[in-house]
Copies of this chain bind each other. A is one copy, B any other.
């Protein structure tokens, strides 16, 4: 997935160094856990969090920094993300993660619980090594708590037909946007940016995070409908009611609510009908509109950053990440 960065070799190179560092730090005696960790980290995702961190940390002082320290901080962001993903997959009983079997599916919940916990310890260790003289130890504790509270909000509101858009935004602010926002903020700080730039960085991360999650939630309503062997509406059937559905429900509750009452027992046919209904009621276009608005907010804020190669990359990446085709 690092192919995503192929046009930006300077970032891609750093991300590979982060992978190497993670592999070194995640060494453990237990063979199952070692396998699980290795598979999980090397198959990798796009590593958006460390990438954003590097893009911001290189804004002002490129080439004049403690590279080792920056690598560790970038790794801490990816590790916190990884640990939460692995534990989420236990909750969701997800068969797949990043196109391969999830840690829970492949190794069982025992390994998944401890693998996640072990990653938390390495995350904590890296923070202690790099952040003791910065405001980011308590800030990380706060973010970790917010991320988890986002997950809890989502879990608590599963199958709750009264779920509101406000509630949804709160949940995704925690579970997705918080860590992207922290990545940008930490980057701006280590770049030597002033309060103003740090504020911008936080806003950019938050907007990208929210937009990213909304696009993801739209995909859950649009992908796989034509392929009979693909699972569809996986979130909805687990009672996770996301923006497209919530917008449709606002428009015509009497049409949407009957589907919610039965959401975990719908046939494939009914699921397809339901996603059609959500689209007809404007749930998809409305969600895309909000995502687009957030993307533009991010781009406007990026424009305020100091003119630099990194700023241009940030712009391009924001557009690529957030303007996928539907």
Please name all residues of chain B whose beta carbon is closer than 8 Å to the beta carbon of A109 when the two chains form the complex.
90-91, 109
B149 near A28 with CB under 8 A, answer: yes
Q: Contacts A120-B120, A132-B137, A148-B121; is A156 near B113 (CB within 8 Å)?
A: no
Q: Take A124-B124, A142-B125 as given contacts and tell me if A91 and B118 are in contact as well, using a CB distance cutoff of 8 Å.
A: no
Partner of A122, one of B91, B124, B140, B145: B145
CA distance A148 to B32 in the complex (A): 14
A117 contacts chain B at the CB level, 8 A cutoff: yes
Is there an interface contact between A113 and B142, defined as CB atoms closer than 8 Å?
A: no
Q: Which residues of B contact A44 (CB under 8 A)?
A: none
Residues of B within 8 A of A142 (CB): 125
Bound-complex Cα distance A319 to B160 (A): 54
Let me know if B113 and A30 touch, CB within 8 A: no
In the complex, what distance in Å separates the CA atom of A71 from the CA atom of B124?
22
- By DSSP majority rule, is chain A's interface helix, strand, loop, or mixed? helix
**A132–B155 CA distance with the chains assembled, in angstroms:** 33
- A108 smallest CB distance to B (angstroms): 10
Q: Which of B28, B113, B122 sits near A113, CB closer than 8 Å? A: B113
Q: Is the CB of B117 within 8 A of A148?
A: yes
Specify which of A117, A118, A120 lies most central, judged by the most chain B CB atoms within 10 Å of its CB.
Answer: A117
* Contact code string A105-142 (vs B, CB < 8 Å = 1, else 0): 00001100110111011101100110010000110111
A142–B122 CA distance with the chains assembled, in angstroms: 9
Does A29 have its Cβ within 8 Å of any Cβ on chain B?
yes
- B30 lies within 8 A of A156 (CB): yes
User: A residues 79-109 with Cβ under 8 Å of B?
Assistant: 84, 87, 90-91, 109
Q: Which residues of B contact A114 (CB under 8 A)?
A: 87, 91, 148, 151-152, 155
9 A-B pairs with the lowest CB-CB distances in the bound complex, closest first = A125-B141, A30-B152, A121-B145, A30-B156, A128-B138, A128-B137, A91-B110, A124-B141, A121-B144
On A, residues with C-beta under 8 Å from B are 28-33, 84, 87, 90-91, 109-110, 113-114, 116-118, 120-122, 124-125, 128-129, 132, 137-138, 140-142, 144-145, 148-149, 151-153, 155-156
